[in-house]
Chain A
Amino acid sequence: MTGNEGQPGGRLLRGVHRTLTGLHPALESVLAAVVGLLVGAVLMYIWGYDPWRAYWALLRGAYGGSYEIASSIARGVPLVLTGLTFAICLRGGMFNIGAEGQMYVGAAAAVCVAYFKLPPGLHVVAGVLLAAVAGAVWSLGPALLKLTRGVHEVISTIMFNWIGRFLVFYLVAYVLVDARQGQRTVQIPLSARFPVLVRGTDLSYSVFLAVAFALFVYVLLWHTATGYEVRAAGLTPTAARYGGISIKRTMLLSFILGGVAAGLAGAATVMGLPPTYAIISGLPQLMNLGFDGMAVAMVGRNHPIGILVAALFFGGLNAGGRVMQFYGSNPVPLEMVRVVMGAIVLAMAIPELARVFPALAASGRALVGMLSRKRPVEEAA
């Protein structure tokens, strides 16, 4: 082998390549998004809506101007974090669908900052930490059940989602309730809110929390020995054990880290999304953020950078969908956006989809080859 390590350009390219490792099947994600949008269009058409106008409204509502873009990003912030929950655990070899419950508990913990006073900056940090710890604690249940008793994480995280949901219902109704406004919890004081980043929009400084955590996860997984162990254990547990890696340790770590991310999603929502700064009873502003995060992670190929992009897309769907339902004489209900999301997730879940096209192309080529082949050859064969 000839060493060509002397070329700085080559080194840079290799660095870029490594950064993009794991992003490779991005095209598959784009394909899934297109399929999802097409399915949505067909459904809209069947129900008598005009898909072009609706999508135009959605696009404008999502990315049509700085206000819209800011709004889409704001909606993407919690999705980045819950997406990371799913992605970290998947990289570690587990299917953690507990982001929803961990995010509820994190949000409830963040609201607790209303009960004490701290200087502005510190107060935000305290809320973030409380939420992170609460999310992590909530993830410990399924993690310990798996490690000590072998309970499958899919079952236990679903259970913990329900427990978390009703626990937070209870807390909102009886413990954290605002005495003057019974339909919501006490409000997070000004000193503990993420300041609004773009005036007049709901985009707050919480976006930096999400981006920073995504970068942290990227560095951890791809540039530290600890993250290396998590990925090795997730890909080939037998080889990881041979390599002296404790699988239990990597599983526990990815679960806790995922819990932290989900907790932060809760904090980012209640501390960083105007105007309520409280949990409303029934948790409308939190509902489904954890599950949507799974879709974001899948479309983002479980890579932190991919998740940032995918969250922007899903945030746009959410923000644009709200515009779509007020647009024109025959507005499309918001639920259609969820149909599109569902179709995208389904399309992602069919990995054969991307493989179908090369296969089709190959058989097409074979067919063309067969037809254009000259007769003598055919007879010889």
Chain B
Amino acid sequence: MSESTNRSGAEGNGYFLRAERITKIYSDGTVAVRDATLELRPGEIVGLLGENGAGKTTLTKILSGLLPPTRGRVVSPRGRVRFSSPREALEFGIGMVHQHFALVGTFTAVENVALSQERPLAPLQLAETRAKLEALMGESGLRVPLDVPVEKLAVGEQQRVEILKVLSRDVDLLILDEPTSVLTPLEVDELFRLLRRLKGEGKAIVLITHKLKEVGSITDRVVVLRKGAVVGDVRTADVTKEELAQLMVGKALETRAGRAVELSTEEVPAHAPAKREGGGRGQGVLHVEGLSVAGDAKPIAVDDLTFDVYGGEIFGIAGVEGNGQTELVEALTGLRPALKGRATIHGQNILGLDPRQIYKLGVAHIPEDRWVLGLVLPFTLAENAILGVHRWDQFRGPLSVLRWGRINAHVRELMERFEIQATGPGAPAKSLSGGNQQKLIVGRELAKDPAIVIASQPTRGLDVGAAQYIRDTLVEMRDRGRAILLVSADLDEVLALSDRVAVMYEGKFMAVARPEELDREKVGMLMGGVSVGGRG
């Protein structure tokens, strides 16, 4: 249609809110958003697109008053706005529906909404709220059972309660953070119908997403964020999925406005795959067949997956987080039951075993969340270094007495070999830096001399040096003939390290290929759920 709009609405007529040159630097120095400008207008659905950690959530939190920006300002036609709390933002007319709902499970929809009306010490206005909700449901077509405890409702219905909660405050701007990630396709259709109706009523809507298909089907405008910066602000009609994918994963692209977008930032040194021509791959270690796993909120998180991982290869799983990677890893490591299918290590079944039995079969697991799974933080280095292997004979004498002498010697060895900076084996794990904690986990797991290493987000949150060290270690393990299953949301990492890459989307592999067969654009499309026909 008309020409594209990098800085559209410049005439200023009828915008609702404008974020001007927002920068957010967290106290640990992370730059979450850099110099981002974003304008929101009534009657428009804006898609906020980007990979994990692109700054989508941070930016919307700033808009909705949850976070103050480090630099920059938010303005409305009435002047500059400054919110010190979400409540103020709500009073101004900005409501956010978070990924994790803030509902009291044992309360009904009416009670939950009444509770959100923020009248301290006043009795709940149940009758009033009910009337309001019924009216609201009538106009919006958004129906939920009002008198059932919300924990008994389907996830989609709970989300509708959240939306009603926000709408009941007469908001003009509705921000939804990944609203479709927990919904069934049918529920997604319903949600989109609702959003279109709200748009018709003149509300401004921001939809945070990483799904390209959704962007195409519902939004009027797309703002693409990468590493905190706005790298594209275009009308949906004027852009192809391919272009969006390129923008999202970071490849030079001339925007319509003619501004060149910077090239992808630092690349992972591609020294890793000294890709041995075919011959490197050993025998099959992990075999997965028809595996389906339920998630916490969704009935199917891993959907009928079949794949093999061989000795001497790194099998990488790329994809936006929340597409079943966590559930897959948990099912393979004994932390989550599988619904159906088979998984074997060297031909031996591992489904239904407890983690210790699985470790005995030669599995090492570098978990995704080192504070929740990987470490007992108040424990010392030595105590953490034997987690999972504490019953191995080398650490245990008669009567199950722990041989602290040997354990400490083992820890000192690990500290030396994996360059763990700590005062000694008796230092509490929580006193270590994130990088050293992760090295401790990696060291502990690799010291098992495993047949397969299942590494989930192994370098997340680490500084460049520690991350590189851990990548080198994984490559070294592969070169020694071990199988590596690498799950990472860091696309560069997966592409650089893996011998084969699978792209996971909604519980399925969109493709399995050698990294050289995949360009970033293609991976971006696959990660966004767009299948790429044939070869590119």
Contacts and interface: CB of A to CB of B under 8 A. Distances in A.
A225 B389 CA distance: 10
Interface of B: 333-335, 354-359, 365, 367, 372-380, 383, 386-388, 390-391, 395-396, 399-402, 404, 408-409, 412, 415-416, 420-422, 424, 426
A221 to B, nearest CB: 11
Nearest to A5: B412
| A-B pairs, 4 with minimum CB distance | A244-B356, A243-B387, A243-B388, A244-B355
B402 A224 contact: yes
Interface residues of A, number: 27
A225 B391 contact: yes
B57 to A, nearest CB: 24
Interface stretch (A226-234, A265-273, A341-349): A226-234
Contact of A223 (B354, B376, B402): B402
A223 B377 CA distance: 19
10 contacts: A5-B409, A225-B391, A225-B401, A228-B386, A228-B390, A236-B372, A241-B355, A244-B334, A244-B356, A246-B354
A213 B480 CA distance: 50
Given A1-B416, A242-B388, A18 B426 contact: yes
Interface in A1-19: 1, 3, 5, 14, 17-18
A225 B390 contact: yes
A198 interface: no
A239 interface: yes
A62 to B, nearest CB: 35
B354 A18 contact: no
A235 interface: yes
Interface string A163-174: 000000000000
B412 A242 contact: no
Contact of A243 (B390, B422, B426): B390
A1 B379 contact: no
B355 A242 contact: yes
B443 to A, nearest CB: 13
B379 A223 contact: no
A18 B412 CA distance: 16
B437 to A, nearest CB: 12
A18 B404 contact: yes
Given A235-B379, A243-B388, 4 more contacts: A1-B420, A231-B379, A238-B373, A244-B355
Contacts of B375: 236, 239
A224 B401 contact: yes
Nearest to A224: B400
A231 B402 CA distance: 14
A226 B391 CA distance: 9
Nearest to A2: B416
A232 B373 CA distance: 11
B391 A232 contact: no
A240 interface: yes
A219 to B, nearest CB: 8
